[in-house]
Amino acid sequence: MPKIVALHKLSQEEQNRITEAAQGYELVVGKYKELPSGTVSSADIVLGWTKDAQEEALQENSRVRWIQVWSAGVDKLPLQDFKARGIQLTNASGVHSIPITEHIFSLMLAFNRNLHRAIEGQSSHQWIKGGDFRELSGKTAVIIGVGHIGSAAAKAAQAFGMRTIGVRRSGKPDPYIDDMMTTDKLNDALAQGDYCINILPLTDETKGLFNKDRFAAMKKGAFFVNVGRGPSVVTSALVEALQSGHLAGAGLDVFEEEPLPADHPLWDMQQVIMTPHTAGDTVHYNERIMDIFIDNLKAYADEKPLPRNVIDYERAY
């Protein structure tokens, strides 16, 4: 009997959805360290992932042919090993569009309306009223990495009356992007942005992409948002651009090193708003990833190609 092993806790309703979609499959649910040895290697499908399961999933006699991870990012997984073993990998792309879009605008609006300073004043019982109060309307948002999240962010930006410029490898148009550019035109796009929003995955091409030259290419007084991947930014170059006043501020959810060291200069910058890698968190996470998994599971059970979120191992996303 083919087997599905779920390494995440599932409600009874979620388990029922799986068994109904793939009748004739055995479903095993449990944390990896609590499962008997060999459970993962005997599975055809693994739902969820933990580094502890890696050696077993990749051993010679492993039956694993498809892994559904709980995250959108797959940069920390052994992609080439999966490819060599003929394992299909699917991610949670699409789950995060709403929470990350709302997070992006939370950072931008908090900066514009000085909410971070007001909260600081509230905590210390001080009536802090200084600073510039900005508006999004009429400004330009440059969105680097226009996928599900980038498109949703562009839609929200247009609702605020912003002009949208998108940057993506293919240059394929998007209904919510006013001007789409290819990645070789990144600096041209950055030069026009009042708000530059990084939503890129981490690949060999994007690691360290936002360096001293990229920040110099941005318009003086721009606000930089990073909800993509921390290592896509050279943090020292970002700090320098902020300290020099070239950038007006930054909203950061991801960092080169996480947690950010307690003595890092970013902590003490009033023009920086930071969150602890929570942009994609939502109480609706499980139900959305289950929708993706069930759609793919039905196709897999019918021996059809997986229709959603299959990772291209060469592009690493």
Q: Do domains 3-94+283-301 and 97-274 have the same CATH topology?
A: yes
pLDDT, position 307: 98
For residues 98 and 284, give the distance between their C-alpha atoms in angstroms, rounded to a whole number. Answer: 10
Res. 246: pLDDT tops 90: yes
> Which class is domain 97-274?
alpha beta
Confidence of residue 43 (pLDDT cuts 50, 70, 90): very high
Res. 286: pLDDT tops 90: yes
Res. 287: pLDDT tops 90: yes
Res. 130: pLDDT tops 90: no
Active-site amino acid positions: 229, 258, 277
Q: Domain residues of the chain, as ranges? A: 3-94+283-301, 97-274
Confidence of residue 131 (pLDDT cuts 50, 70, 90): confident
Residues 50-77 have a mean pLDDT of: 95
Q: What is the residue-averaged pLDDT of the chain?
A: 96
Confidence of residue 182 (pLDDT cuts 50, 70, 90): very high
pLDDT, position 71: 92
* Residue 91 · residue 47 · CB < 8 Å: no
Vertex 95: Cα angle to 73 and 49 (nearest 5) = 45
Residues 227-246 have a mean pLDDT of: 98
Q: What DSSP assignment string belongs to 79-118?
A: HHHHHHHT-EEE--TTSSHHHHHHHHHHHHHHHHTTHHHH
- Fold category of 3-94+283-301 in CATH: Rossmann fold (3.40.50)
